[in-house]
Chain A
Amino acid sequence: MNPTLPTVFIVDDEPAVLKSLSRLMRSARLAASTFSSPQEFLDRHDPQVPGCLILDMAMPGLDGLQLQQALIAKGSEIPIIFLTGRGDIPMSVRAMKRGAVDFLTKPVDDEDLLEAIRDAIEKDRVNRPAIAERNAIRQRLATLTPREREVLEHVLTGQLNKQIAGDLDIAEKTIKVHRGRVMEKMGVRSVAELVRLCQVAGIKPAPR
């Protein structure tokens, strides 16, 4: 599989549907990869590969919504197009709220589906660098010790070392050491830079 080429991942437990959809992708010159169950997708999917996901709503084991949730939990933000046998509005609302790009009913017209796929791939392409950066920041954040994380959240509030030491009831000197480590681990030189990274990663300042 060419990692640079966007791929349409299709998950459906009905073999006939799976086969016909992958044919449709091929006819539209899109790369397609098929999975006969959500679990199989979770096991085999490589998040590095760009593209989008066409997901059947009703399947044995995990259903479409549950797979979406599992992907979010894993940090995957692959755009999802849901296919469903019946237009169930509450279900579609839930799916869209969680970031699904589209919600189409079966049988689906090729134009509608391909347009949704194009949108989704575009979204993935735009999102991907930001996601990559966010993932990198999160990886760095993950290396902090709990104390360092605590100090970081206080730094984000704009407090001085002396105030932080008072809040956390530790020596000012120790705060200084933690602060140095945080800057080092996060790979930043200035507090301004640190604040930006944390904003990207969604880290909130400590409550006051």
Chain B
Amino acid sequence: MLASKTRRNRFRLGTLLLTLAALGASAAPPKRVLILDSFGRDVAPFSVGVSAFRTTLARQLGQPVDIYEVPLDLARFTDLGFEEPLVDFLEHRFAGSPVDLVVPVGAPAVRFTAEYRYQLLGETPIVYMGVDPRRMPPDALKTNATLVTQKIDLPGMIEDILQLRPDTTNIVVVIGSSPLEKFWGDECRREWQVFTNRVGFTMLENLSLAQIQARVGKLPPHSFIVSAMLIMDADRMPFDGYEGLDAIHAAANAPLFGYYRSHLGRGAIGGRLYQDSLVGTEAAKVAIRILRGERAADVPPVILGASPPTYDWRELIRWGISLNRLPAGGVIEFREPSLWELYRWHIVGVVAFCCLQTAMIVGLLVNRARRRADQAMTTLIADLSSRFINLPADQVDPEISSAQQRVCDALGLDVSSLWQWRPDNPIMHTLTHYYRPLGGPPVPQTMKGQDYFPWCQRRVLAGEIVAVSSLADFPAEADRDRETFSHYGLKTTLTIPLAVGGGPVFGSVNFNDMRRERRWSEALIQRLQLVAQIFANALARKVADQALRESEARLSLAADAAEIGLWSLNLATRLFWLTDKARALFKFTSGADLTLERFLGLVHPDDRASVHETIQAIVQSRAEGQMQYRAVWPDGRVRWMLSRGRVRCGVSGEPECLMGITVDVTERRQAEMEAQRNREEIAHLSRVAMLGELSGALAHELNQPLTAILSNAQAALRFLAGEDYDLDEVRDILKDIVADDRHAGEVIRRLRVLLKKGEFQLQPLDVNEVVQDVLNLVRTGLLNHGIGVQTDFATNLPPVKGDRVQLQQVLLNLIVNASDAMTGTVPADRQMTVRTAAADGYVRVSVADRGIGIAPEVLAQMFNSFFTTKANGLGLGLPISRSIISAHGGRLTGTNNPDGGATFEFVLPVDDERRT
């Protein structure tokens, strides 16, 4: 042990570096940079940063750079005994070629480097890269070293998830089993503690990938998966690339959060991300400064922030997350083009098709006259041309295959293949049509063009025709292509790109010989180009047709599911086209055509005229409109229908058809009417309930005039029983009795009005009078509760338009509430103040009490139906009051007073008609 250490010291890399520099060997040797990976060389996402580092360094240093990359694989081989041979290895590996800069990537490599730096590196500058600051060894930056990284924001991940899905209740964290991952698992637990009152966390640790897959496929609703890191699973199975992430994404039944920028596009939904590539780029910039002579110690550490919130459009769509949920400044990537965007060129191509074919046929006829030798081929092309016109989409594929065969037979060709790819992703090629009567080695259904014929592919994608008579004609850089062709026994090739209307190349058609070489004459190429064009147009039309069909099918499916009938009325023929659902809605089950007249026959006789008029009006306006009407089913049942239609005009600008939708709204209407009845019933009940509470007070109110009447009458009787009574006195008494009786009658009238199950009657009202009326009614009741009422009425209030009884009901409710709120108040403070005021087109009425005020949790709900704080309350007073005030175009609010108690206040719009 001691011996080996001595040896190590003697061969220190740093020492060697100095020695070699002193020798001053050849001029300007390339800069040597040593990258130390924590894991294997290609372990994603770390490899993303390293790759960006390499590219940027090579491109921007401005002088040759020699980059060594040593994967330490410390994450998997964790026992320290493994490190010693590693140190030995590095010592020997770089003994003869000292490095100018060392870049350890990731926490394990950083720790290793910092620990052995004096042994291994001496003063060699170091750029620590991609290590969270909390994982930095304490003294690592003391000796000629700097740091480029991004701080890992663990709480930010959860915030991002809750931003997208606030109803998330279960966050499932997938994390691997290497020591590094275990560290982060513990950090997550610690830093996410604060969220545990909102969401539950499930840590999927120490599981194999298969177990993880099984778990993430059966998550309850409102789950979200966080794939923090998966370098090695519990079976000690390491994952180099994105296998872990891909597998989770494939199995998951919930959205997936991946923290690395490079996870975006691989199934991660997005958020504020770790910019792995940017860290590499920034580290390269720092490395360049150091390689150009700056001391590493003088370059301040670069700690990047998270990326702006960035999302994968496809994942958002997949999980139904509204784009409205994205934070301001959110960036959306991978947005898929709309059908039109995707197929624009195809569709344009189809339109161009007919013109092109006409021209083609004319051209070919000329050709025929000129070159009789090509008669057969020319006839074939003309035939193909006509066959492909108006060919239904589902017959395009068999027709192409048959055409390939006919062309090969006519020209003595051995093979014809047709490959297609997505114009926006020309990597994967799919073999869709193949004619190879002579057989040969199996051809994969899909292949990466760049792997098998990179040279040809480049040309074809650029829109060039590739004609190679003999494999020997392939240029030197086409070695791979030659190999592929030779493997399949092909001796020649003609490859023609497939595209329409100047759009992108979406495929190629190939013709080959297996038995001989062939000179591809210009004339032959031209002819086969025509064949290719016919194929391209047919394929494009098929795609466009499919897209249209799919979108129609989807719409129709959605409409059926929503119980919506679709229809279109041809205004010229007065015939309807209907979906089956539309027929079912009207119970129009006969297979007969539905004419406008027949349709009107299905409408309730009372609505027939107005339906007809509405249709005419919509057509005349050339806009859209809707109507509700009754339809009568054959069994006599009446259903309410809602139809909505829009006029479509022809090229001449004249209305051509009326198209739209129909829904059966019978249940909805019934529910609405039911609700209306319930509302009235409840309003009445609540009035009765309120009056029950007030009954004592009302009895007292009646008692006053009754007392006066009785005493007056008995006094009069006594006077009359005496000898010298004063008739004037008796007359006064009788007058008072009449007045008191009227007063009692008034009380009863008010009571009856309040109890009446009334309908809404709007009339101009003096608000002060309305308020005073209610106060008269409740004054005594309040006195019995020891509650005083102060009034503060504005003079000259403008009139409002309203229903007297309903407004009184609201006031009554507010006053009763105020009184209830003050039961616990000291008697001297049991005061309520009723104010009226005019304010800017409104009249304001407020009832303020000095009670207990409104508790915060009550404040939010007090206008909800059936919410009550009273033992015997119905919880309807305030909601009904609010709906009454709203019906008057006003607003009812309740707030706490700064000095205690609460104030309820409503505003009513001034009656403009009566305003002078």
Residues of A within 8 A of B (CB): 14, 16-17, 19-21, 23-24, 26-28, 58-61, 63, 83, 85-86, 106-110
Is A108's CB under 8 angstroms from B788's CB? Answer: no
- Per a CB cutoff under 8 Å, which of B696, B703, B719, B786 touches A107? B703
Given the known A-B contacts A23-B711, A63-B783, A107-B709, are A17 and B704 also in contact in the complex, defined by CB atoms under 8 Å? yes
Give the Cβ gap from B512 to chain A, nearest Cβ, in Å: 112
- Per a CB cutoff under 8 Å, which of B718, B722, B740, B780 touches A16? B740
Q: Indicate with 1 or 0, residue by residue over B709-740, a CB within 8 angstroms of chain A CB atoms.
A: 11110111011001000000100010010011
A21–B784 Cα distance when bound, in Å, is 22
A175–B801 Cα distance when bound, in Å, is 85
Residues of B within 8 A of A28 (CB): 718
Is A20's CB under 8 angstroms from B708's CB? Answer: yes
- Per a CB cutoff under 8 Å, which of B696, B714, B740 touches A86? B696
A143–B709 Cα distance when bound, in Å, is 52
Is A108's CB under 8 angstroms from B707's CB? Answer: yes
Give the Cβ gap from B778 to chain A, nearest Cβ, in Å: 13
Closest to A58 in B: B783
Can you list 19 A-B pairs, Cβ within 8 angstroms, ordered by A? A16-B743, A20-B707, A20-B710, A20-B711, A23-B733, A24-B714, A24-B715, A58-B700, A58-B784, A59-B783, A63-B783, A63-B786, A85-B700, A85-B704, A86-B703, A106-B703, A107-B703, A108-B711, A110-B711
Q: Indicate with 1 or 0, residue by residue over B678-713, a CB within 8 angstroms of chain A CB atoms.
A: 000000000000000000100110011111111110
Known: A16-B736, A19-B712, A86-B703; 18 extra A-B contacts, CB below 8 A, are A16-B705, A17-B711, A19-B736, A23-B711, A23-B715, A24-B711, A24-B715, A24-B718, A27-B715, A27-B716, A28-B718, A60-B783, A61-B788, A85-B780, A106-B706, A108-B710, A110-B711, A110-B714
Closest to A59 in B: B783
The 5 residue pairs across chains A and B that have the minimum distance between CB atoms: A85-B700, A27-B718, A20-B711, A110-B714, A16-B708
Closest to A106 in B: B707
A83–B708 Cα distance when bound, in Å, is 13
Give the Cβ gap from B424 to chain A, nearest Cβ, in Å: 85
Is B783's CB under 8 angstroms from A20's CB? Answer: no
Given the known A-B contacts A86-B696, A106-B703, A107-B707, are A20 and B780 also in contact in the complex, defined by CB atoms under 8 Å? no
Give the Cβ gap from A168 to chain B, nearest Cβ, in Å: 42
Residues of A within 8 A of B718 (CB): 24, 27-28, 110
A72–B706 Cα distance when bound, in Å, is 31
Residues of B within 8 A of A19 (CB): 708, 712, 736
Residues of A within 8 A of B733 (CB): 23
Closest to A88 in B: B784
Query: Which residues of chain B (773-791) have a CB below 8 Å from chain A?
Result: 780, 783-784, 786, 788
Given the known A-B contacts A58-B783, A85-B780, A107-B703, are A17 and B708 also in contact in the complex, defined by CB atoms under 8 Å? yes
Closest to B732 in A: A23
Give the Cβ gap from B812 to chain A, nearest Cβ, in Å: 19
Total contacts A-B at CB 8 Å: 86
A26–B722 Cα distance when bound, in Å, is 12
Is A86's CB under 8 angstroms from B700's CB? Answer: yes
A61–B831 Cα distance when bound, in Å, is 10
Closest to A26 in B: B715
Interface size on B, residues (CB 8 A): 30
Is A107's CB under 8 angstroms from B711's CB? Answer: yes
Give the Cβ gap from A41 to chain B, nearest Cβ, in Å: 17
Is A86's CB under 8 angstroms from B707's CB? Answer: no
A22–B712 Cα distance when bound, in Å, is 9
Given the known A-B contacts A26-B715, A86-B699, are A16 and B704 also in contact in the complex, defined by CB atoms under 8 Å? yes
Is B780's CB under 8 angstroms from A58's CB? Answer: yes
Residues of B within 8 A of A86 (CB): 696, 699-700, 703
Closest to A110 in B: B714
A23–B699 Cα distance when bound, in Å, is 24
- Most B Cβ at <10 Å: residue of A19, A20, A109: A20
Give the Cβ gap from B833 to chain A, nearest Cβ, in Å: 14
Closest to B706 in A: A107
Is A107's CB under 8 angstroms from B710's CB? Answer: yes
Residues of B within 8 A of A26 (CB): 715
Residues of B within 8 A of A59 (CB): 783
Residues of B within 8 A of A58 (CB): 700, 780, 783-784
Residues of B within 8 A of A85 (CB): 699-700, 703-704, 780, 784
A28–B718 Cα distance when bound, in Å, is 7
A14–B769 Cα distance when bound, in Å, is 21
A24–B784 Cα distance when bound, in Å, is 26
Residues of A within 8 A of B729 (CB): 23
Given the known A-B contacts A14-B704, A60-B788, A86-B699, are A109 and B783 also in contact in the complex, defined by CB atoms under 8 Å? no
Residues of B within 8 A of A20 (CB): 707-712, 715, 736, 740
Give the Cβ gap from A106 to chain B, nearest Cβ, in Å: 4
Residues of B within 8 A of A108 (CB): 707, 710-711
Is B700's CB under 8 angstroms from A17's CB? Answer: no
Closest to B701 in A: A85
Give the Cβ gap from A16 to chain B, nearest Cβ, in Å: 4
A58–B743 Cα distance when bound, in Å, is 19
Closest to B781 in A: A58
A20–B717 Cα distance when bound, in Å, is 13
Residues of B within 8 A of A109 (CB): 710, 714
Give the Cβ gap from B357 to chain A, nearest Cβ, in Å: 101
Given the known A-B contacts A16-B743, A27-B719, A107-B706, are A21 and B783 also in contact in the complex, defined by CB atoms under 8 Å? no
Closest to B740 in A: A16
Residues of A within 8 A of B714 (CB): 24, 27, 109-110
Residues of A within 8 A of B783 (CB): 58-60, 63
A17–B709 Cα distance when bound, in Å, is 8
- Per a CB cutoff under 8 Å, which of A16, A17, A23, A110 touches B739? A16
A135–B711 Cα distance when bound, in Å, is 37
A109–B780 Cα distance when bound, in Å, is 22
Give the Cβ gap from B724 to chain A, nearest Cβ, in Å: 12
A27–B712 Cα distance when bound, in Å, is 10
Query: Which residues of chain B (653-692) have a CB below 8 Å from chain A?
Result: none
Residues of A within 8 A of B707 (CB): 14, 17, 20, 83, 106-108
A106–B710 Cα distance when bound, in Å, is 9
Closest to B720 in A: A27
- Most A Cβ at <10 Å: residue of B710, B739, B788: B710
Residues of A within 8 A of B700 (CB): 58, 85-86
A106–B739 Cα distance when bound, in Å, is 18
A26–B788 Cα distance when bound, in Å, is 33
A110–B784 Cα distance when bound, in Å, is 25
Residues of A within 8 A of B710 (CB): 20, 107-110
Residues of A within 8 A of B706 (CB): 106-107
Residues of A within 8 A of B784 (CB): 58, 85
Given the known A-B contacts A20-B711, A21-B711, are A106 and B719 also in contact in the complex, defined by CB atoms under 8 Å? no
Residues of B within 8 A of A63 (CB): 783, 786
A61–B708 Cα distance when bound, in Å, is 22
- Most B Cβ at <10 Å: residue of A19, A61, A85, A110: A85
Give the Cβ gap from B510 to chain A, nearest Cβ, in Å: 106
A137–B705 Cα distance when bound, in Å, is 46
A63–B704 Cα distance when bound, in Å, is 16
Closest to A16 in B: B708
Closest to B697 in A: A85
Is B780's CB under 8 angstroms from A23's CB? Answer: no
Residues of B within 8 A of A110 (CB): 710-711, 714-715, 718
A61–B703 Cα distance when bound, in Å, is 20
Residues of A within 8 A of B708 (CB): 14, 16-17, 19-20
Closest to A15 in B: B708
Residues of A within 8 A of B786 (CB): 63
- Most A Cβ at <10 Å: residue of B696, B712, B729, B788: B712
A60–B790 Cα distance when bound, in Å, is 11
A19–B715 Cα distance when bound, in Å, is 11
Give the Cβ gap from A104 to chain B, nearest Cβ, in Å: 10
A14–B744 Cα distance when bound, in Å, is 13
Residues of A within 8 A of B703 (CB): 85-86, 106-107
A59–B785 Cα distance when bound, in Å, is 10
